[in-house]
Amino acid sequence: MSLLQSSDLNNSAIFRPFSELPSEHEFSETYLSYTKPRKHWCFLGKIVKCNFLVRLTLDVEDKKGHRFLVAFHTDDRGAAFKAMCIPGNTIAVLYAAQHTFAFSPPGLRIEEDGRVMVFPYSLEKMLAVSNDVLQRAKAGTCETCGAVENSMKKCARCKTALYCSRECQTNGWASHKDRCAITKDLLWFMQRDWESSSNAHLFPAGRY
């Protein structure tokens, strides 16, 4: 599947800050019907603090610097995500909706494992790599020398970096390897059609 420009993690129409998320009780033509999402969206935030007493709770900061509570109400109370929830890592929540807690400001209440993914990279790094990958894919140029050839080689790992020759691929590995792993994870986002209202997206099982 090709990379879709609309799936850039910097696209705030899809990857929304907390203030622009719908309320969990808001059913509208913009976001939700009673049976499934009318459109797709995802929240991305930086993990600032992690606690696990009765359940896993996180202090999370969005793109705009707003900090709020994320509480796990999954079957295992978030235990499956605990090891990955390290300050500085990034949490992604599909179809995130603002929840009003009884004794704290609005935040996110997590009830489904399949709607959450935690990445071992900073939010800033993920946003930068997302933009870079999509711009390079659009240009179709060699990652190392900038040339355009009829037959371009792709990085075997991330499947996105293009090279006009094996020599350029070898010479460019030192600068590419740092973002190669991040790009592999970002492909899940960049290969999704976020503007279709067909079936709800879910993250791969067992990948926290």
At 135 the pLDDT is 87
Closest CA to 60 of 107, 94, 124: 107
- Inter-residue contact 162 to 150 (CB < 8 Å): no
* Mean pLDDT, range 58-68, rounded to an integer: 97
Q: Which CATH class is domain 5-121?
A: mainly beta
Query: What does DSSP say about strands 67-72 and 108-110: parallel, antiparallel, or unpaired?
Result: parallel
Lowest mean pLDDT among 20-24, 77-81, 162-166: 20-24
At 1 the pLDDT is 47
What are the helix and strand counts (H, E) for the chain? 2, 8
Closest CA to 126 of 49, 87, 184, 197: 184
Say how far apart CA 1 and CA 151 lie, in whole Å: 18
Tell me: the pLDDT tens digits for 82-136?
A: 999 999 999 999 999 999 887 788 999 999 999 999 999 999 999 999 999 888 8
Q: Is the pLDDT of residue 74 over 60?
A: yes
Say how far apart CA 58 and CA 85 lie, in whole Å: 8
Task: Supply the pTM of this predicted model.
Answer: 0.88
Q: Where are the domains of the chain?
A: 5-121, 140-186
At 100 the pLDDT is 87
Mapped onto helix, strand or coil, the DSSP state of residue 11 is coil
Name the percent of the chain lying above pLDDT 90: 63
At 3 the pLDDT is 65
Closest CA to 85 of 101, 103, 72: 72
Q: Is the pLDDT of residue 47 over 50?
A: yes
Tell me: the pLDDT tens digits for 163-185?
A: 999 999 999 998 898 889 999 99
Q: Is the pLDDT of residue 55 over 80?
A: yes
CA angle 83, 84, 85 (to 5 degrees): 95
- Say which residue, 21 or 34, is predicted with more confidence: 21
Say how far apart CA 171 and CA 144 lie, in whole Å: 7
Q: Is the pLDDT of residue 2 over 70?
A: no
Query: What does DSSP say about strands 56-61 and 42-52: parallel, antiparallel, or unpaired?
Result: antiparallel
- Inter-residue contact 202 to 12 (CB < 8 Å): no
**Cα atoms found within 13 Å of the Cα of residue 112, Cβ hemisphere only:** 13
